[in-house]
Copies of this chain bind each other. A is one copy, B any other.
């Protein structure tokens, strides 16, 4: 069973809103095991919507349209379905009665234009809308299904679950589900992850599990997808592949899908009964902001100092000014002293520091993208210098992740001092 999604609305093409309806429908189709190979977005235009329907039905067994079934003149999905199925629109007396009843329950007068919502292709049936006024449409062409539901997300979701998915599952004879799992990896590039998994690639994709890599924000997410006859059967296969991925990548694995590095750091600190404090220069508060994004952060996070002006480092973080003179502000010794200072002045067990050059221009001969992160704590002091690509935003974002990953590895005792 294969279905496609056609989202209708000129606002999608103009980029006024993101096509989140296609995202939600795609996720739900995968969950019930219906393949979906194409999403299309088209404007409020009868001919182009009709073409999108015909195109989808050439490739798939069903098409789900979202949007364009409201009352106004630019809502033309009903007309487009009629055109694609060589049908014509009629006013359905039952729908008209329902509409009048809905408006009277809401205590609102019904504008004449709302009667457009009582129209449907003559051979189609209608799908009830439990939330709004616009009924959906279910039409057929050569045994293939055409569903039309609203573009308003809440109504779309309600009707997807109440009408579309059950009907699709019935037509599919519901034989399979697609289950997805994500493993987050820190400190490695996308190609390094792919290369590390290369030798076991065959074992990974056996049993029909597909593996994909998504890089971004200093992390690589490895996505494992299995199609099986049940959620349980998919889980068995995914368990085996996830175990293999975790074995090969070792401590580079940060956690499962929702486990961000800041969540994992909080958990590792809590397990040891330790607290953390930050000293940030190049990241300007982003490390503290990510740590405190996690509910309950106050149990393990003491606070941070954003030492942006060089003079703030000695005064607030108790950094020896001669270290800065001797090694420069972007250096291992200064980063270590900042981490140790944060730990001391905020009475934390572990201190984490970032210093570096985010740009736009180099600093005292140190090029943009040069960054040093350091950890100071009961297990000793470590620092790491890295060169990061891209511009200011990117350098700052990546440094934040690199720093959090360093403290994660420190707490796992996976670093050479």
Contact = CB atoms under 8 A, between A and B. Distances in A.
Contact of A389 (B30, B132, B201, B216): B132
A40 interface: yes
A36 interface: yes
Given A39-B40, A45-B37, A223-B11, A16 B345 contact: no
A113 interface: yes
Contact of A22 (B19, B24, B27, B43): B19
A45 B210 CA distance: 12
Given A113-B195, A283-B289, A393-B154, A306 B305 contact: yes
A172 interface: no
A33 B125 CA distance: 40
A288 B297 contact: no
Number of this chain's copies in the complex: 2
A286 interface: yes
A207 interface: no
Contacts of A22: 12, 15, 19, 41
Interface residues of A, number: 116
Interface of A: 10-20, 22-28, 30, 36-45, 48, 52, 55, 70-74, 102, 105-108, 111-114, 131-133, 152, 154, 178, 180, 182, 189-192, 194-195, 198, 201, 210-216, 223, 225, 275, 278, 280, 283-289, 291-293, 295-298, 301-309, 311-312, 315-316, 345-347, 359-360, 369, 387-394, 396
* 9 closest Cβ pairs, A-B complex: A284-B292, A15-B27, A285-B288, A285-B285, A15-B26, A304-B306, A285-B289, A39-B41, A303-B312
